[in-house]
Amino acid sequence: MAQDGGGQDGGRQEGLPRGGPARPEAVAAARGGGDPLRGGPALPAAVTTGGCVSALRTGATAASMALRTCVLLALLAQCLAAASSPSLRAAEDNLLADSGHGHFSSQWIVHIDGGPAAADEIAARHGFDNHGEIFEGVFHFEHKRVAKRSVDPSPHHDTRLLSEPNVKRALQQRIRRRVKRDFLEEQGSGRTERAARGGPRSERSKTPVMFNDPRWLQMWYLNRGGGLDMNVQPAWEEGYTGRGVVVTILDDGLEKDHPDISRNYDPQASYDVNSHDDDPMPRYDMLDSNRHGTRCAGEVAATANNSICAVGVAFGASVGGVRMLDGDVTDAVEARSLSLNPQHIDIYSASWGPDDDGKTVDGPGELATRAFVEGISRGRGGKGSIFVWASGNGGRDMDNCNCDGYTNSIWTLSISSATENGLVPWYSEACSSTLATTYSSGQTGEKQVVTIDLHHMCTSSHTGTSASAPLAAGICALALEANRDLTWRDMQHIVVRTARPANLQSNDWAVNGVGRNVSHSFGYGLMDAHAMVQLARSWKSVPDQHRCEVSAPHTDKLIPSKSQVVLQLHVKECAGVNFLEHVQAKISLASSRRGDLQIHLTSPAGTRSTLLARRPQDMSRGGFTAWPFMSVHTWGEQPFGTWQLEIHNEGRFLGTLTEWKLILYGTETEPGNDGDRKSPPSSNTNVNNGNRKYGVNRPVNQSSPNQDENVVEPDIGSPWKEVHVGHTHNEVRGTTEDGISSSGCLSQDSSHRYCLECAPNLWLWQGQCEEKCPNRTYSTIDPASHISVCSWCHYSCKYCVGPNDYECSACFGDATLYQMSTAEKFCYPKVLLPAMDTAAWYQKTVIVFSIVAVLLFVLIALFIVNVFYNGRISNQYKIVKTSEDS
Ligand SMILES: [Ca+2]
Ligand SMILES: [Ca+2]
Ligand SMILES: [Ca+2]
Ligand SMILES: [Ca+2]
């Protein structure tokens, strides 16, 4: 399962401070169910504003004068209460304005035995539409009469579905905020046609490929030569155009009848997840807000030499579009898209992800994770689907792409951008999981990316990492045509070996332990299509992937304010892994301000990866829960020796590291064709050409795996050693045993990496077996499989006994546990408590005044009736008297 960055609940608080996520229900409760501003039912009509006015207008009698006084009093109370509750409304508006993230949708995931026929029948019986099977036995339902967005779940629909004997599990889907990675504001510079090409010309480009497409001359990133483009033309010249390779764009649709794409359009690689049909045509609006997918598709496979618009990198490839961003995105929507036709589609290109606001930590949920796992293990006949991902556009907000579980995943080939002049673009995010770079937009004055556009048009102003991922997908398609047997890992190996620093300028280029240049902004550098097809052609598939885990003891390490903690882990054995691929540091830590932390990992060969840089915007108190920070910087190195973790705490608050685990992926024998480690290809060795310098030369770790070192020393004690704690805190918490974790796994998936069932007394969590469910999860029995699993708490709870907001057992620091009844305990954000008190006071005041008003009214009425009655009696008496007198 979420081996690799399953949805961190940190993300579920996205856009809102932790605890602050202010359960919308809490707000409703705070309002006492009656909001004067929204016409709630709690107030008697007489005390609502309209009621007051009409009462005042009609008040003429003595009785109504009394009523008028009390109504005025009530009105005054209401005004006072309204004036004192703006903070409540502001907090609430914050919540509700938040794009529906976390709200319940009208979609369900239903696990059903008996196949599609049974699912159809059950759906019809309970008023659902069956949108089809995502995985075997897992169906995507939607209920037309349930609100598309609601703060409240619809448990009675769960109950109805679960009453069916064939239904094993029913889960209402929640909305996830996902953003496209380009920019709506036009920068203009790329809009105009340019006749002249920028940049020097290489020898090769003296005989350039010439196309008659009107924008071909503007496609600088494909044709400017001089080692300053992505070397696509020589690949084309060798005949590689992506023929036979299928790419799909997961986005907001595809204008499939665009004359520059229609020839390569592949309906089998297309689907409309938003409208549940086979036609991915985008929805047109005044802003053309759904042009993103079409633009991305054009970069991959716009037809060449047809006198129309642009040229795709893989203009011979088939291209499809999945319309999935033009509507509420749920885990089911993502899973549906990522698992579309995996035996037909080779490459999935995604230029979107969680908000790049610099404070979000979010990743794929349960189903999307399953889609990735099934994709890499079963897609393309077992060679694995290739997921190309845009690394993110949060540069301005100092976001870190390692906090994005999609790009941080080992299953995605993460691509960053470089500008025309080789600079780090202003939107770029730096992180250690980025594998390579393609060109994209930059500052005003720097050119942008040319591609097709909506309404059968053409654009020269596609921007952001959005533009980079499809270029990478196109280049991967060329490599895949050169060798159809490449696995998903082969493709990453080839990118690592062939990407080159080119003109990319960054002050963090470094040379890793096997002599390759690597940077957090650019990964291994600019992708080189020609080098990729050449290497792909003769590539022998890499040996099986192995993984080992080395855990630190379960002990808390304090990270005091303005200090750093340095920890070391000695890896003596890592079964099956002698040559590293991806490395994950799975970290749980608590912090009062997550953005103050920086985390670095240094490999035994001395390669230092920044797992997390400071994120000034991230004020979350959520910390990280088993977040698998990933690095590709140690690719090819050996895992043995001392790994060092540094955590810097720049803030004013104490942090606590609660869990730390190193997960090392790699191969037993050396991958590549001919001892690549000892002679890395020239394209990415430590180049110092001209006056440009890359990295710092330092000796490559020459030691080969030493048999002696491959043996666990049983008495080594803790593999962890605390080297230094800055400032205070001399006390080092006791370190205990436990070095290499034993898995406790009863059955694994076909790739032997992800556990499917654990031994008794162990709980399945993210593909591994845990003795105790981690923070923010609770132990339960999966109703479908009857397997013991850990499951996420409601995002407002720190600890819980069930999935709902009323099943919290402990809260985060900025929330308070609030017991409604013996069975219901909520976590209410402290920041909202004064507002809730105010609202409660207001409600009480209104009730008291209402009662007083009604009583007064009754008394006055009685008084009037009494006076009137007495008057009549005395008149009758007078009449009687008069008649007697007469
Ligand atoms: Ca459609
Ligand atoms: Ca064209
Ligand atoms: Ca990001
Ligand atoms: Ca990745």
User: Per residue, what are the HEC states of 393-458?
Assistant: CHHHHCCCHHHECCCCCCCEEEEEEECCCCCCCCCCCCCCCCCEEEECCCCCCCCCEEEEECCCEE
Ligand 4 midpoint to CA 410 (Å): 5
Residue 502 — φ and ψ, nearest 5°? 45, -130
Task: Return the structure tokens found at 881.
Answer: 């008297």
Does 292 participate in catalysis according to the annotation?
yes
Mean pLDDT of the chain: 80
**What average pLDDT score do residues 775-792 get?**
82
Determine the pLDDT at residue 554.
64
User: How does pLDDT run across 62-118, given as a tens digit for each residue?
Assistant: 444 444 444 444 444 443 444 334 443 344 334 434 568 889 999 999 999 999 999
pTM, rounded to two decimals: 0.69
Catalytic entry in 101, 292, 530, 648:
292
Determine the pLDDT at residue 291.
97
Greatest CA separation for the chain: 139
Task: Return the structure tokens found at 811.
Answer: 């809260």
Does 750 participate in catalysis according to the annotation?
no
Q: Is the per-residue pLDDT at 791 higher than 70?
A: yes
- What is each CA distance from 513 to 444, 635, 678, in whole angstroms? 38, 9, 11
The candidate with the shortest Cα–Cα distance to 152, out of 831, 806, 817, 843, is 806
Which residues does residue 757 pair with via DSSP β-bridges, in sequence order? Answer: 747
Nearest ligand (C-alpha, residue 429): 3
Q: In which band, very low, low, confident or very high, does the pLDDT at 42 lie, cut at 50, 70 and 90?
A: very low
Helices marked H in 538-664: none
**What average pLDDT score do residues 777-788 get?**
82
Ligand 3 midpoint to CA 293 (Å): 19
Determine the pLDDT at residue 60.
37
Q: Is the per-residue pLDDT at 445 higher than 60?
A: yes
Determine the pLDDT at residue 871.
76
**What average pLDDT score do residues 123-135 get?**
96
Which residues does residue 130 pair with via DSSP β-bridges, in sequence order? Answer: 141
Determine the pLDDT at residue 441.
95
**What average pLDDT score do residues 250-271 get?**
98
Q: In which band, very low, low, confident or very high, does the pLDDT at 59 lie, cut at 50, 70 and 90?
A: very low
Determine the pLDDT at residue 36.
29
Bridge-based pairing of strands 271-272 and 318-323 is parallel
Catalytic entry in 251, 355, 397, 453:
251
Nearest ligand (C-alpha, residue 281): 1
User: How does pLDDT run across 365-401, given as a tens digit for each residue?
Assistant: 999 999 999 999 999 999 999 999 999 999 999 999 9
Share of the chain above pLDDT 90, in %: 61
Ligand 4 midpoint to CA 122 (Å): 39
Between residues 804 and 277, which one has the greater pLDDT? Answer: 277
Bridge-based pairing of strands 329-330 and 167-176 is antiparallel
Q: Is the per-residue pLDDT at 411 higher than 90?
A: yes
Determine the pLDDT at residue 877.
57
Nearest ligand (C-alpha, residue 360): 3
Between residues 459 and 9, which one has the greater pLDDT? Answer: 459
Q: What is the dihedral of CA 728, 730, 735, 741, to 10 degrees?
A: 20
Q: Tally the residues of the chain.
A: 886
Q: Angle, nearest 10°, between helix axes 464-482 and 529-537? A: 30
Does 417 participate in catalysis according to the annotation?
no
Determine the pLDDT at residue 835.
72
Share of the chain above pLDDT 70, in %: 75
Determine the pLDDT at residue 244.
98
**What average pLDDT score do residues 830-836 get?**
74
Lowest-confidence segment of 446-450, 582-586, 781-785 by average pLDDT: 781-785
Q: Which amino acid is located at 834 in the chain?
A: P
Ligand 4 midpoint to CA 237 (Å): 30
Surface-to-core class of residue 809, CB atoms within 10 Å of its CB (0-12 exposed, 13-18 middle, 19+ buried): middle
**What average pLDDT score do residues 481-489 get?**
98
Nearby residues for ligand 1 (ion, Cβ within 5 Å): 272, 275, 277, 279
Nearby residues for ligand 3 (ion, Cβ within 5 Å): 356, 392, 394, 399, 404
